[in-house]
Amino acid sequence: MSTNIEKLKKYVRALNYLSTTQIFLKDNFLLKDKLAFEHIKPRLLGHWGTCPGINFVYAHVNELITRTGADMMFLLGPGHGFPAIQANLFLEGTLGKYYKEATVDEKGIGYISRNFSWPYGFPSHSNPGAPGVILEGGELGYSLSNAYGAVLDNKDLIAVCLVGDGEQETGPASTAWHLSKFVDPKINGAVLPILHLNGYKISGPTVFGRMSNTDLKNLFRGYGYEPYIVEGANDKVYEKMYETLNTCYESIRNIQKEIRNFDKPREYFPRFPMIILKTPKGWTGIKKLGGNKIEGNCLAHQVVATEANTDKEQLRAVEKWLKSYKFEELFSKESGFHQDILDIVPKDGLKMGENKHTFGMNEHNKELVLPDVSPFTKNIKRGENAGSSMKDIGAYMAEVFAKNSGYGNFRIMSPDETYSNKFDAVFKTTSRAFAGKIMEWDKDLDPEGRVMEMLSEHSLQGMLQGYILTGRYGVLVSYEAFIQIVGSMADQFAKFMKVSREFSWRKPVPSLNYILTSSGWHQEHNGFSHQNPGFIDDMLQRHNNFTSVFLPPDQNTALVVLKRVLGSKNEINVIMAEKSDEPLWLTKEEAEKELKDGLAVWDFASDEDPHIVLSSAGQSPTKEMMASLDIVKKETPEVRVRFVNILELSPNTVGSSTGKMSVEKFEEYFTKDKPVIFGFHGYPETLKQSIFDYVNSRGRFVVRGYTETGSTTTSFDLHIRNRTSRFHIAILVWTKMMDAGVVTLEKGKRLISMYENKMKDHIEYIKKNGVDMPEIENWKWTR
C-alpha cells in the first residue's frame, strides 16, 4: 500500500499544479523564469477551493480502477471545479483524443492552461465539450440523481459521485439520497456517493461542514447508507482514503453478489456505503494572504490572489504556491510525466474520461422497439366520447415495455403517481421499482419494476437525464402545474444539448420526453393552485430547433405523437395529454398526416372561401372551439368558417421544429386577410410570440387562452372565467362578422344578448347544482 500511496501523492501534486496554472497562467507554465505580471492572465476566473478535493478523489478512484479493472464513471456536483476535471482528463490522455493540441507534454500544458476560462477556449465549469461529462454542474443539486439514473440497468457500472457540502444544502440533493431505495442491485449498478466537506460556500461556512462526525454518521445512516469518514493529516488522509475506498468497493460487490445470487424476500433496503471526505477548502494552496486566512476558509472558494497580475505580494504568493508542488520532480520536457504518475492512469477502455456510458454507449444501447399504434387507436363516430388519452397512452406504453423486456432500455419516471394520472395500464407488463420490503397488500411493487415513482420531480428529472445521456429511453409524466419545479433543470439540460451538438464525438442520445397531464382546464376540483400552463411557455423560450410542444386534440393523435417522440434523438418533447374523457376528432391516418406539418385544416369542419378562421391548440380548447363552431353554424349558417388545428409548437413558430414556417405557408392555413380566432391551451402570450412574425394587420388575430383566472369550480366555468368558452368564441365571431357585413346588426346583437344571458344562467346553475348545465355536459358534435 505504501508504494501506491506515494504514487498517489505525486499524482495529486501534478493535478493540483495543473489546476492552478489553468486559473492563473498565460505563459511560463513550467516556471522556467521568475514569475512576472505578464505571465498572469488579465482576467482571473475559476474556482480553486474545491479542486484539491476533486483531484484527491479522482486520483484514488483511478488507482482503484487500475488495480481492479472496475467499470467506473465520475460525476461532479461542484461543476465550477472544472480545472480539476480538465487536469485529470489531460493527464490520462483522454482530452488529447478530442483536442489535438492537448498533447501530454509541455505544449499541451500550455494549451489547457492558456485556454481555460478564455474567450473561445474552455468554459469555467463542467460542460459537454469535456469527454466523460454528463452533468454540467452550473446549477447545484442534481449530481446524485444523475448518478442513480446512469446506473439503472447498467449492472456492472459504479458511478462515483462527488457531492459538495454547499450543494448538499439544496433540496434536490437532500432528496436524492433516497433514490438508493428504488435502484435494486439485482439488475442495476451502484452509486458510491462521496460528500466532500471542505467546510465553506462562497462567503461563509456550510451547514454540513459544522456538524459533528456523530451527527453526520447518524444522518446518513438514517438515509440508509453505511457512512465512512475520511479525514486527517496529509499522510493519514491518503492512507485512510485508500483503505476506505477498498472497503466501499468490496462492500458494493458483496451486496450485489448476495442479492443477485440468493433469491430471498427483502426485509430491508440494501445499505450501500458512502464516504464523507473532510479536507480543507483550497487544500495545499496559499495559507494566508494580506493577513487573511485563505486555506480552510471561504476566501479559497474562487480565485485566490485576485490581483496577482498587478500586486507584487500576491504575485510572489502565487509563485511560492506553484513551486510548492515541485512539478519539476513530476514532469520533464524531455520524458514527460514520471512513471509513478503514469502507473495510476487506467488503461484504455477503463479511463473515466472515456467511459463508454458517458458517450451513450453500452450493452443496452439498442433502438427502442416501438409497436404499431393501430391496435390502440379508435375508429368511432367523429366527435363521440372516446375515453381518456392517458389511459390509451398507458396501454401503449405497456406494450412498449413488453416489446423491450429483454433490453433494459426504457423507463418511466412518475412523480405524481401512475394511478392518479390514469396510465396504470403499464402495470400489465411492469411494476413500480422498490428495493425494500414489500408487504402482501402492496400493489404493483417489485424490485425489478421499471416505473420509478417518487414524489420528487427534481429527483426523477435528474434520474431521467442520467438515464438518457447514457443511451437509454424514458419519459417523465407529471401534473402540468407541478412540472414547473424542474423548469430550471430543463433549461440547463437544453443548454447542455445545444452545446453537445457542436461536438461530433458526442453521439445522438434519446430525447428528453415529458407527458404533462392533469392540465389546468381539468383541475377545477383541486382549484387555482393546480391551474398553471407555464412550463410550455418556458420550453418555447428556448432558442433552438430541437424543442417541441405537442398539443394533441384527441386520443388517436396523442398515440401517434407518443410513438414519434419515444423513438426520437437529441430532442426535448412535451406532450399535453388529458386524463379526462374527451371526444375523438381524427382517425389515425388523419393524425399522422397532421403530425407531418404540425397543424392541419380540418376539412370536415371547414367551408370553402371562409369569412373567418377558428383555430385551436390543446384538447380542451379544441372541444370548446368545435362547440363554438357548432353554435355559429346553427345560428348563422351564412358564416363560412375554416377550422385549423395546431398540433405542434416550436420556438417562434407554429408547426414542426424542423424549420420556421414561411409566411406563404402560414397564409395557406390562416388566409391573407380574414380574421383568425385562436383557442389556446396555455397563456395567450405564449402563442402570440409564435405567430408574431406572421401578423400582417392590426386586430386580425385574437388569441384566447388561460389568463390566470381560476378557482374550485366546474370545468366549463374555467372557460367562462378565462373567456375561452364556446359562448365567448361564438360572440366574438358574430362581432367580427357584423363588422364584415356577413351577419346583420340586428341578428348579431340578438344572438350576442342571448348567449350572454346563457353565461349568466350558467353561473346561477352551477351555484345551485354544483355541476355544469346539461347542454354543456351532454354536448355532442352535430355536423
In a domain, 327, yes or no: yes
Residue 488 lies in a domain: yes
According to the model, what pLDDT value does residue 1 have?
A: 67
Residue 697: pLDDT above 60?
no
Question: Which pLDDT score is estimated for 342?
Answer: 96
Q: Rounded to whole angstroms, how far apart are CA atoms 575 and 387?
A: 18
Q: Which 8-state DSSP code applies to residue 638?
A: T
Q: Is the pLDDT of residue 226 over 80?
A: yes
State how far the Cα of 8 lies from the Cα of 15, in Å rounded to an integer. Answer: 10
| Residue 197 falls inside a structural domain | yes
Residue-wise pLDDT for 502-540, tens only, equals 999 998 999 999 999 988 777 767 777 777 888 999 898
Same domain, 247 and 390: no
DSSP of 104-163:
SSHHHHHHHHHHBTSTTSB-SS--TTSTT-----SSSS-HHHHHHHHHTT-TTEEEEEEE
Residue 599's pLDDT band (boundaries 50, 70, 90)?
very high
In a domain, 464, yes or no: yes
CB 633 within 8 A of CB 662: no
Residue 589 in domain: no
What's the one-letter identity of residue 510? P
8 Å CB contact between 30 and 327: yes
CATH of residue 396:
3.40.50.970
Contact by Cβ (8 Å): 469, 126: no
Question: Is residue 64 predicted with pLDDT exceeding 60?
Answer: yes
Across residues 479-494, what is the average pLDDT?
92
Residue 395 has pLDDT above 70, yes or no: yes
Q: Are residues 524 and 624 in the same domain?
A: no
For residue 762, what is the enclosing H or E element? helix 745-769
Reading the block at residue 91, the C-alpha cell is 493527464
Residue 77 to residue 116: CA distance in whole angstroms: 19
Find out whether 36 and 11 touch, Cβ atoms under 8 Å: no
pTM for this prediction: 0.95
543, pLDDT greater than 60: yes
Type of residue found at 366: K
Instruction: Give domain status of residue 358, yes or no.
Output: no
- pLDDT given at position 135: 93
**572-576 and 547-550 as β-strands: parallel, antiparallel, unpaired?**
parallel
Contacts for 710 with CB less than 8 Å, ≥ 6 apart = 520, 523, 524, 527, 528, 531, 718, 721, 722
The DSSP line for 89-111 is HHHTTSHHHHSTT--SSHHHHHH
* Residues 604 and 521 reside in one and the same domain: no
| Rg over CA atoms, the chain | 30
Distance, in Å, from the CA atom of 561 to the CA atom of 475, rounded to the nearest integer, reads: 13
Same domain membership, residue 604 and residue 576: no
Supply φ then ψ for residue 72, to 5 degrees.
Answer: -135, 145
Confidence of residue 363 (pLDDT cuts 50, 70, 90): low
In 505-620, DSSP assigns E strands to: 512-517, 547-550, 572-576, 581-583, 599-601, 612-617
Question: How much is the pLDDT for 696?
Answer: 61
Non-local CB neighbours of 570 within 8 Å, separated by 6+ positions: 497, 500, 501, 508, 509, 511, 546
The total number of structural domains in the chain stands at 3
Cα dist. 244→8, 194, 228, 237, 369 in Å? 15, 11, 7, 10, 43
Alpha carbons 279 and 339: distance in angstroms, whole number: 27
Q: What is the CATH number of the domain that holds 667?
A: 3.40.50.920
Q: Same structural domain for residues 317 and 382?
A: no
Do residues 494 and 633 share a domain? Answer: no
Segment 177-191 mean pLDDT: 97
The full 3-state SS of 182-241, as one line of letters, equals CCCCCCCCEEEEEEEECCECCCCECCHHHCCHHHHHHHHHHCCCEEEEECCCHHHHHHHH
> Does 711 map to a domain?
yes
What does the mean pLDDT of the chain come to? 94
Residues 323 and 380 in one domain: no
Written as nine digits, the cell of 664 is 406563404
531 and 559 part of one domain: yes
How many residues are present in the chain? 783
Please say which residue of 539, 559, 583 terminates a domain. 583
User: Could you tell me if 692 and 561 lie in one domain?
Assistant: no
pLDDT tier, 655 (very low <50, low <70, confident <90, very high otherwise): confident
pLDDT at 130 over 70: yes
Are both 574 and 503 inside the same structural domain? yes
Any idea what the Cα angle at residue 494 is, between residues 492 and 495, rounded to 5°? Answer: 65
pLDDT value of position 273: 98
709: Cβ–Cβ under 8 A, 6 or more apart, which residues? 721, 722
pLDDT value at residue 279 = 97
Q: Cell numbers at residue 98, please?
A: 478530442
DSSP assignment of 685-754 equals HHHHHHHGGG--STTSEEEE---S---SS-HHHHHHHTT-SHHHHHHHHHHHHHHTTSS-HHHHHHHHHH
Domain membership of residue 139 as a residue range: 2-345
Residues 213, 324, single domain; the answer is yes
547-584 pLDDT, tens digit each: 999 999 999 999 999 999 999 999 999 999 999 899 99
Please report, for residues 248, 453, 501, the alpha-carbon distance to residue 509 in angstroms, rounded to integers and kept in the order given.
31, 23, 11
Least confident residue range of 9-13, 15-19, 650-654: 650-654
Residues 461-487 have a mean pLDDT of 95
pLDDT tens sequence across 248-301: 999 999 999 999 998 777 788 999 999 999 999 999 999 999 999 999 999 999
- Domain assignment of residue 359, yes or no: no
Please indicate, yes or no, whether residues 499 and 450 belong to a single structural domain of this protein: yes
pLDDT, tens digit, for every residue of 709-742? Answer: 878 888 899 899 999 999 999 999 999 999 999 9
pLDDT per residue as tens digits for the range 659-672: 778 888 999 999 99
End position of a domain, from candidates 551, 583, 615? 583
